[in-house]
Every structure is written in structure tokens, then in C-alpha cells.
Chains A and B, each alone.
Chain A
């Protein structure tokens, strides 16, 4: 059996040659187990904390605030999704990764660490909400974005994974949700549930 650094992903799948039916059966079993893993993560969501955060976001939006969402990679698509869902409910919302020109300009001229903070400086107002999504909890540009949002008195909310990463060390962070897993696909699936539940609490604009 050859050495496989990612073998831990499929603990019962050996790398030796097998026939197709055996591999297909292994893949089926693995599929079911992955489904069970995300169920456990979703059960760990603190729904009372979701209600509290959702009400706080709604209070800002009712005062004329905007939801400003950001993240990297798959989390950037989550930020775009939550902003789109918010718009569909009648609330103003934007994802900072929508603007490839600004992202690449700031990334090139200043540094990738500043791509969100730089956008918040001209865009953000005190009544707005910053919603950051980071699987590791330690992405420097996400931390810098939240710091800028906090300086400008925005409501600061974050969704993360692992053990919370550097986000846990921000004493001023208003709301933090951790999907306690070190496996990104599953914790991202739990992230989608967390922000969809938040949207349910935020509700539609009257």
C-alpha cells in the first residue's frame, strides 16, 4: 500500500488496487458517513445564540444599516449567498468579494490582507453589520476586516470552524459561531445552516 497523506479522509479505503464493485461499495459507505458527520455539526448549533444574533442584525437593518459580508474561497461564495438571500428579503446587503476590480487593485497595491478592511473604510457606517465567514477563524484579511468594522462601531458577527482560531481572541466581537470541526467541507455545510437560520430570524422587511 503506497503512502497517502490524505488517507485519514477515507479511513477504510485502502490504496491497493481493487475491483470496481469494491471501490463503489467503499465510496457508498463513505458517503453515508460524511452525511452523519454534518448532522452532528448541525446539532451542535446554539439556536438561542442564533436568535440573539439575528435580532441584533435586524435591529441594525431597521435603523437603515446594511449587511456587509466577506470571506475567502468557498466562504466568499457563502458571503455572496447570504448577501443575496438578505436582498431577497428586502434588506440592503453586499458581499465584498463581488467587486473583483477592487479586490485585485487593493491586493496588488496594498496587500491581500487589506482587501476587506480597505473596502470597509469608505463603505461602512456605524449602523451597518459586518458578517465575516472564515473556516479557519484566522484569515488575516478577515480579521483585519472585522477590526476595521469594530473601529467604525459596526455590529461584528463571525462564523468559523476548527476551535475558532484568532476570532476567539477578539474580546469585542459581538457574535461568534463555531462549527467545531477541522474538516472544511463538513464545517462549511454547517456554516450554510447557521446563516440560513440567521436569515430566518432576521425575516422579511415589512
Chain B
């Protein structure tokens, strides 16, 4: 048995370090999630093994808020499906949010989940332990090798994401997806998803669907010059 008081101190130290370092990015992630929910998106949390229980916890947190008066937000934990058939390929839509949970540095199944989510244009968020470098728009790495400690710190992070997403619903003016390409001049934006002759572009955290018929071979990650809902040309790096 380890010294229990020391284990409690270690939790305090790691949680404080993470929140201090990441508070700005946590706030941005809350804002991005609130905008995705405002667009009609569903949260899809995913983890394996012990992290599967966190995925289920996240889903119930959003679906059935513990605070009376908070609106229910759509969430589905595919890890609750014993058939394993509720894959992201079946469930995910570009407006959705994928949340990957890993207590260690990496879980190949979660990396695959996040890669598939990015390919489909979902907003991606990931929580890992020390040494993690998950492919996600918002990644939070808990600086500890103790998987149970990492799990507890992650629980605070996902609770805070849930609690503070609601703050943005109190400021509806901050939820609108402003038309990125509606200005007088064309703008450069990054492609985050491509499907059926259109692409989803992102600029300054905002997203919009644009036609890509004028540009050949548009791919995720390309930067395109857009105006009035149409991609005009690819901008060479």
C-alpha cells in the first residue's frame, strides 16, 4: 500500500498544474463545443477498458444533467454498444463532436477513432495521460503516469467542459457561425472535411460548407481561397 495522503497531494499537484496550463484552451474547447451543439451536433465520447466507463459517464452527464434547469445535450457513447457496430463511420456527422479518452499515453483504438473523426470533419477533443500526442483539435495531456490519477483529473476536465459549455448558451450571440466567406474580399481557410462536391472549411474556429467544383483534388488540410460559399483556388503552401 502506498502512502494515501501522498496520493491525495499528488492529485492536487497534477490537477492544479493542468488547469493552470490549459485554462485558456479549456475555455476555447467549451466555446467550440457550444457552437457544435448549436449547429445540432451530437457528442460522441469514446474510450476503451476503464476509459469506457468515462465515455459512459460523459454521455449521461450531457444527456441527463444533474443540475435542474440545464438543457439536455445529445451524446452517445458507442462503447456502451456490445455489438461494437456503433462505429464513428455509422454515427458521425460533420457537426458532431468526438471526444477520445485515454488514461495512458496512447490507445490505438482511440487514435483510430480520432483520425476517423477528423477525416469526417467532426470537432475533435482528446484527453490522455503523460506522453500523449493525440490527433485532435483540442488535446489535453494530464502530466502523470498513474492511470487512476489521470482518470480523476480527466473527470474534472470533462465535468468542467460540460459545466462551462452551458455558459456560452447564455450568450447566444457567441454561438452563431458567422458566414466566413460572405465579406467583400475572398478569404483563405483550411479544409477540414470533403464530401460529395463540397468541403467544410474552418477559419478562426468557425466552419462553413463551400462548393469545390472549381478546385481540383481538394483534400483535408488544404488551404483554399473562398468567396461567397465557393472555393476559388488552392493556396500553395
Query: Taking beta carbons and an 8 Å cutoff, which residues of A are in contact with B?
Result: 4-6, 9-10, 13, 15, 17-18, 20, 23-28, 30-32, 34-35, 38-39, 42-43, 45, 47, 50-51, 54, 73-74, 76-78, 80-81, 84-85, 88, 135, 184-186, 188-189, 192-193, 196-197, 199-201, 203
Contact = CB atoms under 8 A, between A and B. Distances in A.
A199 B2 CA distance: 11
B164 A31 contact: yes
A24 B28 contact: yes
Residue from A30, A35, A80 with most neighbouring chain B CB atoms (10 Å): A35
B163 A34 contact: yes
B84 to A, nearest CB: 16
B7 A28 contact: no
A80 B53 contact: yes
Interface residues of B, number: 51
A32 B4 contact: no
10 contacts: A23-B31, A23-B167, A25-B27, A27-B164, A43-B12, A51-B1, A73-B66, A77-B57, A189-B159, A192-B151
B117 to A, nearest CB: 22
Contacts of B85: none
Contact of B19 (A32, A43, A76): A32
Contacts of A188: 155, 159
Contact of B16 (A35, A51, A74, A135): A35
A45 B148 CA distance: 17
Contacts of B164: 27, 30-31
A42 B12 CA distance: 8
B104 to A, nearest CB: 13
A17 B167 CA distance: 11
Interface string B124-136: 0000000000000
